[in-house]
Chains A and B, each alone.
Chain A
Amino acid sequence: MDIVLSHKIASVAELAGHDDRAWHVAWNPSKPLLATCSADKSVRLYSYTVDPSPRFSLHTSIPTGHTKTVRGIAWSPSGSTLATASFDANIGIWKREGQDENDEEAAREWECVSILEGHETECKSVAWSCSGTLLASCSRDKTVWVWEAQPDADFECMGVLMEHTQDVKYVAWHPTEEILASASYDDTIKLYLDDPSEDWFCFSTLTGHSSTVWSLAWSPNGQYLASASDDCTIRIWKRITKHEWECVLVLEDHERTVYAITWGPGKPGTTQTGGESLGWLASTGGDGRINVWAFEEHPDSTQKSPPKHTLIARLENAHGVSDVNSIAWCPRTGYEDLIATVGDDGVAKIWKVVSA
C-alpha cells in the first residue's frame, strides 16, 4: 500500500441522519442541493454553500411514502424534478411545492407529482436522459423501462426492454445522446437506442465482467463508458464506431465488490502529459476504499488504444467498516473536486480531492 499519489482525499463534511443504510447519493445539477436515499424509505436533501468553504446543512427530509427501501434517486437535468426508485416496485416523481423559490417554507416541501408503475419487483435505479425528456428505470424483474415525460407530470411508457436475463442493477444515459446503458446481475452491460420507426431496442451487449455489474459511468465527453463489478474490477469501454463499444482497459484496484463509480470533469490543468483531459473517475465499494483516477487521451491515441490513466488519490475505510454504496462528483463549476459518498452506516460524506 505504500504508493505515493499526487492527491489525497480530505474530509469536508459528514451528514448523518438516515435510520438505515444509505443507498444512493445525487447532486442537483443546477441548485446547491444534495440528495441521499435510504432503506429507511426517506430522501434527505442537503443544501450547501461554497463560500468560503463548502458547508452543508439539512434542507429537508422527504418521507417519500414508498413502502420499501428507496434504492435509487436521480435529478432531472434542470434540477427541478427528482425521481426515486424503490423496492416497492414504483418510481416516484417529486417536485418542489409552490412556484416561489424564495418562499423558504414552501421550498422545503416536496410533493410526489407522479408514480410510475409497471415494474413487477424492486426497482434498483432510475436515470434521466440529457435532455430531461426521457426517464429510464430498471428492476429485479429483469426489465428496463423507458418513459417519456409529458405535460402535467404525466409519463408515457416508451419501451419495455426485456434483454437482461437477471436482475438489472443500474441504468445510465449517455451525457449528450439518447443512448441508454444498463448493468445487470447477468454480468453484462446492454446499450439501447430508439429506432425512430419502431421501439427501443438493444443494439449492443458488452460482455467481459465475470460477475454482477453494479454501476456505470459515462465519461464527460461520451467516448468512454466505465463499469463497476462484483469481480472487483472496473472496465473502461471505448466507442470504436458510432454503435460499437469495446473494452480497452481493466482497472484492478479494489479488493472487494466495486459498487459505485462516478466520472466527472476533474480539476482543470491536471493532465500529466498534455493530452486532452478525460476527467476524473472515482470508484468505491465493499472494501470501503475510494480510488480516484485521472484520465487523459493519449496524444498518439488510436481507435482502440486505452486512455492514459493515473491513480491520483486513494482513501481507505471511507465509511469505517461499512460498505460504500454510492459515489458522485459535484457538478458545480469550480467544485469538480468534491465527491459525495453514502454507505451502509447511513451517513453521507463529502470529500475534497486536494493536492498532496
Chain B
Amino acid sequence: MTFSGALTLTDLNDYITPSQACIKPVEQSNAPKARTPGDATTEIQIDASGAYYEVGQGTTSRDSNGGGSTQKLQTADISLTDCLACSGCITSAESVLITLQSHTEVLSVLAANPSPGSPGHRVPVLSIAPQSIASLAAALAGPGPSGTPPIPLAHMLNRVRAFATHTLGFAHVFDTTFAREIVLREHVREFFERKERSGSSSGSNGGGALPMLSSACPGWVCYAEKTHGEMLPFIATTKSPQQVMGTLVKEWLAPHYWDKHPDEVYHVTVMPCYDKKLEASRSDFYNEQYATRDVDCVLTTGELLLLAQEHGIDLSLPVPNEDISLSSTSTSTSVTPVLPDLLSPPGSSSGSYLHSLMLAVAHTYPHPLTLESKAIRSADYVEHTLRDASSGSPVFRGATCYGFRNLQNVVRRVGRAAGVQVGRGAAGRLAGGLRNNNRAGAATGGATAAYDYVEVMACPGGCVGGGGQLRAPERKAVSNTNHDAEGFVRDWTADGVQPSASASNISSSQEDPNTVRAAGTAEAPWSSRAWTREVERAYWGAAHQAPAEYEPKPKHSLPTPPASPKPRDGGGVGIDAGEGGLGAELPAPECRDRAKGGAAVSRRWFSSGADDQGAGLSIVVESLVARVTRELCAPVRVRQRQEEEGVGFGSADTWVDEMSEVRRRGLFRTQYRVVESEVVGLGVKW
C-alpha cells in the first residue's frame, strides 16, 4: 500500500506531533560553498572527537581532493535563557530548570561553601514569599477540612527561619514583603508617570501606555512576550518583589551592611511559582560586573517542604519563641537595618497591586470617592471602579484578573480598547477586513470602557494558587494521586521531583491509558479551587476567617485612607478583623446570569481607623524605604554631604533628583522583549 500522491507538506502538521520551531536555528558562519548543478547530496560524518562534518558527495567533483569538500559543522550553542524563551524545543524548560534551580542544587552549593571568613565564602540568604508561607501554613495545619485554623504566618515564618538557619546554615532569612512594599510604591509611581504621559500626548502610544498591567507574574510576562508582543508596552516595567528582593540583598544589604560584594552572597528565594525560576534566570537580572544573579536559585514551596522532609524537619511542629517576631536573624551589628516581617497591605493575596494603586488614586483625588466592585462570573475576575462620590463619574477603572482564561479576555479587551492589534502575524491580515462598526470600543463608556490598571496573574486564584504551592492534603483530594511521607497529596512531577517524567510525556501518543485516565480524574477542579481558598484564608490569617462584610448596596462612601501598610503578626499587632480583610471569598456570582456579568459586590477595601495599630510600624517602614532610597539611589556626593552635615533621615521624596531618579529606575525597573517564535528563513506554506 503506497501513500497517495497527495501526501505533501500540508500533512505534516496533522501527523507530526510535538515539535514547533526552535527559536535558535544554527547560523553557519562558515558559509557553505555554492552548489554545482547536479551536486545533489551531502553526508554527515562524525570524527573520533565527536565533531560533525558535512561531506559533499559531488559526483562531478570527485577530483584530487578525494571525495568532495568537507566542512566542519558549527556546534549549536543554546543557553538556558534560549531554552526558556522558546516553546518549540523537545527539551522542556522545566526539566532544564530542575537541574539548575533545584533544592539539590541549593544543598550542594551550601555544602561546598567554605566556612565564614574563608576566601570564597558566600553568605547564604533565604527570602520567602508570603504566599509560600501561607501554603505551608494551610497544608501543615493538620487534619480537618476547615475546622483547624491555619498556622499563623508569623509562626510559620519563624519555623522556616529556624529550619533554614539552624539546619541548612542560612545566615539571613527574610520574607519578601518589604521588597513588595518597595515594588508597590514604585508601581504607583510608574502608574502616575504613565497617566501623565497618556494625558499629555494622546496621540503617541510609545513606551508606557495605559492601561498599565501588572508585572509581578512571570507566567503572564513570559506568555505576553511569546504570544502577545502588542501587550508589552502596557506591562509595568516595575520589577517583581522577588527581583527587588534580589536587588535589596545584593545591592543594598550586602555592600552596605555585610561588607560583601554581590557575588559573595548566595541568594535563594522560595516562591509559589515555577516561573519565578525563569524570571530569576532572565539576563536583565544578571550582574555583569560581578557575574552573579540577583537571585541565585529559586525554590518552590513544595521544594522547600521536600528539603525539610529530607532533613527530618517537621515544619508542622512549633519552634521555641515562634510567636515572637524576629525581624531578622542577623547576628551582625545593630546598624544593620531590620526588615519588618510580613507587611500585608490590604487588597489581594497576589500582592495588592491594584489596591495600593486605588489607595494612591484616592489619596491624590481632591474629592471623596466611591468604590464599585463587580465580579465577572467569578472571584477571579473582578472589576473595580472608583467614582467621584458627588458626580458619580468614573475616576479610575481597574480589575483583578487571575487564571489563563481570564487573562485571554483581558488581552482581548485591552487590545480592543487601546486599538492595538492583538496577536501575531496572521491576524493582521484578517483584521484588515474587519469593519469598524463593531470596533469603536474605546470611547463608548459604560461597561466596555477601558481600564486604567489590571492586576494580572496567570494562576486561577492568583499567587496563593501558584503551580509551586503544596497540593491539598489528602482529605481534600480524590483518590489516584501519590501521597508523600506526611500524607499530603502530591503531584510529584509538578513539584519537580521527577525530572524524567516531564520529558516522557512528550514522546509518544501511545500513552498508557491508565495514566491518561488517572490524569483525568486525579484533580477534580472544585477541590483544587477549594484548596486555593484555604491557602487564601491562611494568607490573611486566622483573624480573617469570617468573611468580610458585604454591603447590600453596591456603593458606599470611601474615606481618604492613609497609604500605610498594616502589619500582620500573630502576636500583638494583629490586623483589624473584618475591616480590610479581602481574603474572604466573594459571594458566588450569579452563574447563569452571564450576559449581565455577574452580581455586583462591594467590599470594605478602604478601612477607616484600622491603621491605628499599624501606625508605629508604618513609621518604621517609611524610614526604611527612605533609607533604601537614600543609600541606593541618591548620588554619592549628596550622601556624603548628608553624612558630613549629620542630617538625619529625610523622607524618600526629598532625595529624588535627576541622578537618583536614574539610579532608582535602574534598580527597580526592568524591560520586556518580544520573543520571536517564527522560523526564520524557512518558507513553509501550508
> Which positions 89-121 of chain A face chain B at CB distance < 8 Å?
89-90, 92, 111-115, 117-118, 120-121
Task: List, in ascending order, chain A residues with CB within 8 A of B594's CB.
Answer: 148
| CB-contact partner of B525 in A39, A120, A166, A198, under 8 A | A198
* Contacts A90-B426, A120-B227, A157-B408; A39 near B434 (Cβ below 8 A): no
| CB-contact partner of A158 in B405, B426, B592, under 8 A | B405
B509 within 8 A of A: yes
* Contacts A69-B686, A111-B433; A21 near B408 (Cβ below 8 A): no
| CB-contact partner of A92 in B227, B430, B438, under 8 A | B430
Binds B, one of A7-15, A182-190, A307-315: A182-190
**Bound complex: CA of A187 vs CA of B406, how far in Å?**
30
**Bound complex: CA of A323 vs CA of B526, how far in Å?**
44
Task: List, in ascending order, chain A residues with CB within 8 A of B425's CB.
Answer: 67
A177 within 8 A of B: no
* Contacts A65-B432, A120-B227; A195 near B525 (Cβ below 8 A): yes
Shortest distance between the CB of A137 and any CB in chain B (Å): 12
Shortest distance between the CB of B660 and any CB in chain A (Å): 42
Task: List, in ascending order, chain B residues with CB within 8 A of A323's CB.
Answer: 4, 6
* Contacts A69-B10, A153-B438; A117 near B427 (Cβ below 8 A): yes
Assess whether B429 is in contact with A65, with CB atoms less than 8 Å apart: yes
* Contacts A65-B429, A157-B409; A198 near B526 (Cβ below 8 A): yes
Shortest distance between the CB of A186 and any CB in chain B (Å): 6
| CB-contact partner of B517 in A66, A160, A207, under 8 A | A207
Assess whether A186 is in contact with B511, with CB atoms less than 8 Å apart: yes
> Which positions 389-443 of chain B face chain A at CB distance < 8 Å?
404-406, 408-409, 412, 416, 422-427, 429-435, 438
* Contacts A112-B430, A160-B408; A196 near B517 (Cβ below 8 A): no
| CB-contact partner of A205 in B422, B520, B595, under 8 A | B520
A276 within 8 A of B: no
| CB-contact partner of B17 in A64, A166, A321, under 8 A | A166
Task: List, in ascending order, chain A residues with CB within 8 A of B13's CB.
Answer: 87, 121-122, 140
Task: List, in ascending order, chain A residues with CB within 8 A of B404's CB.
Answer: 160
> Which positions 175-221 of chain A face chain B at CB distance < 8 Å?
185-188, 190, 195-199, 201-202, 204-205, 207, 212
Interface SS, A side: loop
Q: Which residue of B lies closest to A150 (CB)?
A: B595
| CB-contact partner of B423 in A87, A117, A198, under 8 A | A117
A88 within 8 A of B: yes
**0/1 string, B69-80, CB within 8 A of A gives 1:** 000000000000
Shortest distance between the CB of A90 and any CB in chain B (Å): 6
Among B404, B409, B423, B524, which residue has the most Cβ atoms of chain A within 10 A? B409
| CB-contact partner of A39 in B4, B378, B524, B686, under 8 A | B686
Task: List, in ascending order, chain A residues with CB within 8 A of B685's CB.
Answer: 68
**Bound complex: CA of A115 vs CA of B505, how far in Å?**
32
**Bound complex: CA of A74 vs CA of B97, how far in Å?**
42
**0/1 string, B493-533, CB within 8 A of A gives 1:** 00000000000010001110100110110001110010000
- The list of the 5 closest CB pairs from A to B, nearest first, reads A88-B426, A196-B591, A117-B423, A157-B408, A67-B426
Among B4, B513, B520, B594, which residue has the most Cβ atoms of chain A within 10 A? B520
* Contacts A188-B516, A205-B520; A166 near B426 (Cβ below 8 A): no
Task: List, in ascending order, chain A residues with CB within 8 A of B14's CB.
Answer: 122, 124, 167
A163 within 8 A of B: yes
Q: Which residue of A lies closest to B434 (CB)?
A: A112
B588 within 8 A of A: yes
Shortest distance between the CB of B419 and any CB in chain A (Å): 15
Shortest distance between the CB of A292 and any CB in chain B (Å): 24
A20 within 8 A of B: yes
Q: Which residue of B lies closest to A63 (CB)?
A: B433
Give the size category of A's interface with B. 35 or more
Shortest distance between the CB of A175 and any CB in chain B (Å): 21
B20 within 8 A of A: yes
Shortest distance between the CB of A255 and any CB in chain B (Å): 10
Assess whether B513 is in contact with A207, with CB atoms less than 8 Å apart: yes
- A-B contacts, 16 listed (Cβ < 8 Å): A64-B430, A65-B433, A67-B429, A87-B13, A89-B424, A113-B434, A115-B430, A117-B423, A150-B595, A153-B438, A158-B405, A188-B516, A197-B526, A202-B520, A205-B516, A323-B4
A244 within 8 A of B: no
Assess whether B588 is in contact with A197, with CB atoms less than 8 Å apart: yes
Q: Which residue of B lies closest to A62 (CB)?
A: B433
Assess whether A156 is in contact with B409, with CB atoms less than 8 Å apart: yes
B interface residues (Cβ-Cβ under 8 A, vs A): 4, 6, 10, 13-14, 17, 20, 87, 227, 378, 404-406, 408-409, 412, 416, 422-427, 429-435, 438, 460, 505, 509-511, 513, 516-517, 519-520, 524-526, 529, 588, 591-592, 594-595, 685-686
Shortest distance between the CB of A198 and any CB in chain B (Å): 5
Shortest distance between the CB of B397 and any CB in chain A (Å): 18
A165 within 8 A of B: yes
Shortest distance between the CB of A177 and any CB in chain B (Å): 14
Q: A111-B435, A157-B408, A196-B591 are in contact. List 7 more A-B contacts (CB 8 A).
A: A67-B426, A113-B438, A121-B13, A152-B438, A156-B409, A165-B505, A187-B509
| CB-contact partner of A21 in B10, B434, B511, under 8 A | B10
**Bound complex: CA of A31 vs CA of B516, how far in Å?**
42
* Contacts A69-B10, A87-B686; A115 near B427 (Cβ below 8 A): yes
Task: List, in ascending order, chain B residues with CB within 8 A of A165's CB.
Answer: 505, 509, 511, 516, 519
Assess whether B426 is in contact with A89, with CB atoms less than 8 Å apart: yes
**Bound complex: CA of A92 vs CA of B431, how far in Å?**
10
> Which positions 24-60 of chain A face chain B at CB distance < 8 Å?
39
A223 within 8 A of B: no
Q: Which residue of A lies closest to B404 (CB)?
A: A160
Assess whether B17 is in contact with A185, with CB atoms less than 8 Å apart: yes
Q: Which residue of A lies closest to B506 (CB)?
A: A165
> Which positions 115-152 of chain A face chain B at CB distance < 8 Å?
115, 117-118, 120-122, 124, 140, 148, 150, 152
Task: List, in ascending order, chain B residues with CB within 8 A of A117's CB.
Answer: 412, 422-424, 427
Shortest distance between the CB of B496 and any CB in chain A (Å): 19
A322 within 8 A of B: yes
**Bound complex: CA of A88 vs CA of B430, how far in Å?**
11
**Bound complex: CA of A212 vs CA of B511, how far in Å?**
12
Task: List, in ascending order, chain B residues with CB within 8 A of A90's CB.
Answer: 423, 426-427, 430
Assess whether A199 is in contact with B517, with CB atoms less than 8 Å apart: no
A344 within 8 A of B: yes
Q: Which residue of B lies closest to A110 (CB)?
A: B433
Task: List, in ascending order, chain A residues with CB within 8 A of B433's CB.
Answer: 65, 111-112
A159 within 8 A of B: yes
Among A21, A113, A198, which residue has the most Cβ atoms of chain B within 10 A? A198
Q: Which residue of B lies closest to A151 (CB)?
A: B595
**Bound complex: CA of A124 vs CA of B429, how far in Å?**
20
Task: List, in ascending order, chain A residues with CB within 8 A of B591's CB.
Answer: 196-197
**Bound complex: CA of A117 vs CA of B230, how far in Å?**
13
Assess whether A195 is in contact with B526, with CB atoms less than 8 Å apart: yes
| CB-contact partner of B4 in A67, A68, A322, under 8 A | A322
Assess whether A163 is in contact with B520, with CB atoms less than 8 Å apart: yes
Assess whether B10 is in contact with A39, with CB atoms less than 8 Å apart: yes
Task: List, in ascending order, chain B residues with CB within 8 A of A186's CB.
Answer: 509, 511, 516
Q: Which residue of B lies closest to A97 (CB)?
A: B435
